[in-house]
Amino acid sequence: MTGIAYTGVPSAEELRACPGIPTPERRKKGRVAVIECVQEIPCNPCAAACPFHAISIPGEITALPRLDGELCTGCGRCVALCPGLAITLVDETYGEEEGAVDFPYEFLPLPAEGDTVDAVGRDGRTLCAARVVSVRRPEANDGTRVIRIAVPKRFLDDVKSIRRLARKEEEDAWTTK
């Protein structure tokens, strides 16, 4: 069976029907939010987070968030504020060969700018190598870091995060049994 309720990964069909995905025309114009919220749950902080009113939850709070690509400036406020970590930014205009993806990241350790890391897709599989462009943690994000990576353009639709980096034992502050 496919679909997020069976695999934890939104299916191609669910993504096609998702009102939070920007159009190909909008994507060509530069950085824009991609809201992969495909299941009706009671949640609306993304709509309130957007300073440009580009995200709306029409009717009941369980409705899927709708992106107005023309109003979206790609500012990224929503990326760290979505409790489901379901929003990324894509920038097709980042470079000649490369596009950029911004995603929320809540694991330690953090990569450093300039590092080469493994870019992963929705199912956690490594898709390609990625270069870390920036690691940001504005106070408004309340602890959630937003990382920007550059990846070859052909992976831009599918890159969603990076492989979790290994912890070094000596840096480990945790007590274990």
Partner 1 sequence: MKKLRTEVAVVGGGPAGLSAAAEAARAGAKVLLIDENKRLGGQLVKQIHKFFGSEAHHAGVRGYQIARRLLRDVEDAGVTVASNALAYGLFPEKELGVVWDGKHCQVSAERIVLAAGAKENYLAFPGSTLPGVMGAGAAQTMANINRVLPGRRIVMLGSGNVGLIVSYQLMQAGADVVAVVEGADHIGGYGVHAAKLRRAGVPFYLSHTVKRASGDGALARVEIVQVGKNWQSIPGTELTLEADTLCLAAGLNPMTELAWMAGCAFLYLPAFGGHVPAHDAKMETTVPGVYVAGDITGVEEASTAMEEGRMAGLSAAESLGYGAGAALDAERAAIQRRLDDLRAGERGAIRRESKARQTAAAADQRQGGGAT
Q: Which residue, 8 or 51, is less far from partner 1 as judged by CB?
A: 8
C-alpha separations of 134 from 24, 45, 112, 150 in Å: 25, 25, 8, 10
Q: Is 133 helix (H, G, I), strand (E, B) or coil?
A: strand
- N- to C-terminal Cα distance for the chain? 39
Q: Minimum Å distance from CB 25 to partner 1? A: 27
Q: Minimum Å distance from CB 165 to partner 1? A: 11
Distance from C-alpha of 29 to C-alpha of 24, rounded to nearest angstrom: 9
Q: Which residue, 32 or 49, is less far from partner 1 as judged by CB?
A: 49
**In the 8-state DSSP scheme, what is residue 155?**
G
Q: Which residue, 154 or 167, is less far from partner 1 as judged by CB?
A: 167
Interface residues with partner 1 (CB under 8 A) are 1, 4-10, 36-45, 48-49, 60-63, 81, 83-86, 106-108, 120-124, 142-144, 160-161, 163-164, 167, 172, 174-177
